[in-house]
Structure 1
Amino acid sequence: MKAQITLAAAVSCLLAACSSESEAPQGEVIQCAIGAGAEFAPSCTYQEREGGREVVVYHPDGGFRRFSMLPGGAGVASTDGAEQVIQGMMGNNLEVTVGEDRYLFPTTPAQ
């Protein structure tokens, strides 16, 4: 019986640690609209990885998406999930839509 109580206490401690708030991921803040009907807001962060070949975008709710950079600056492709990536220019930003989520990535003009 004592072992069961100790195990239950340990599991409770682990669950409490898992549900605690963690710091927002470090990275550049970008405009995003997460979910159907959402408006763009500067609430997502992104980090470049793999020498700039991959980008991870973190949502304010803790979710994230990973993208691979396409050769020659042709945009991005989703690296997780089967949802189609739709992209186009919006001003000086690359607008990327995946499902109901939209992101605005800053771009550098070609020289």
Structure 2
Amino acid sequence: MPISRVKTVSACIALLALAACEPVDDQAAAPAIECAINGASAFAPDCTMERAEDEGASILIVRHPDGVFRRFELGVPGEGIITADGMQPAEVVRGEGMIEVRVGADRYRLPVSE
């Protein structure tokens, strides 16, 4: 289901607020986020996220408990958030105080600042 331009712009603004978080040096200290991976129906605080910079782009890295990770590029003009790796597009749904990002069978709830 395509995301409307308004939702994309709102998601981009919210993710830019998220991108203002300080980078995490110690992965063990990375904040836990709720995720539902591999098609799971329920969310659990099993994933972590960290922010990085890659050639001037703001990158959000979400790590699964089994070591798998996804990279998202934040603030892409006209796009908001895109997957930085792979061919599957990210779908963003805005919720109360969070954004749900869906890629394939994986879903992530990311906190945002209002």
TM-score if structure 1 supplies the norm length?
Answer: 0.68
Q: CA RMSD in A?
A: 2.1
String of CA shifts for 1:56-75, please: whole Å, max 9, x gaps: 10001110000011158x74
How many residues were matched structurally? 85
The match for 2:14 is none
In the alignment, the residues of structure 2 paired with residue 95 and residue 107 of structure 1 have an alpha-carbon distance, to the nearest angstrom, of: 10
The structure where helix makes up a greater share of residues is 1
Mind listing any 5+ residue stretches in structure 2 that lack a counterpart? 1-25
- Aligned CA distance change for structure 1 residues 106 and 52 (closer, same or farther; 3 Å): farther
Superposed displacement of residue 37, structure 1: 3.2
Q: Please state if 1:98 is matched with 2:103.
A: yes
Mind listing any 5+ residue stretches in structure 1 that lack a counterpart? 1-23
Superposed displacement of residue 90, structure 1: 1.9
The match for 1:87 is 92
Q: Please state if 1:69 is matched with 2:71.
A: no
In the alignment, the residues of structure 1 paired with residue 109 and residue 80 of structure 2 have an alpha-carbon distance, to the nearest angstrom, of: 12
**Which of structure 1's runs of 4+ aligned residues deviate more than 2 A?**
none
Larger radius of gyration: 1
In the alignment, the residues of structure 2 paired with residue 75 and residue 93 of structure 1 have an alpha-carbon distance, to the nearest angstrom, of: 15
Within a 5 Å distance, the mapping from 1:28-43 to structure 2 comes to 28-43=31-46
The match for 1:6 is none
Percent pairwise identity:
36
In the alignment, the residues of structure 2 paired with residue 52 and residue 29 of structure 1 have an alpha-carbon distance, to the nearest angstrom, of: 23
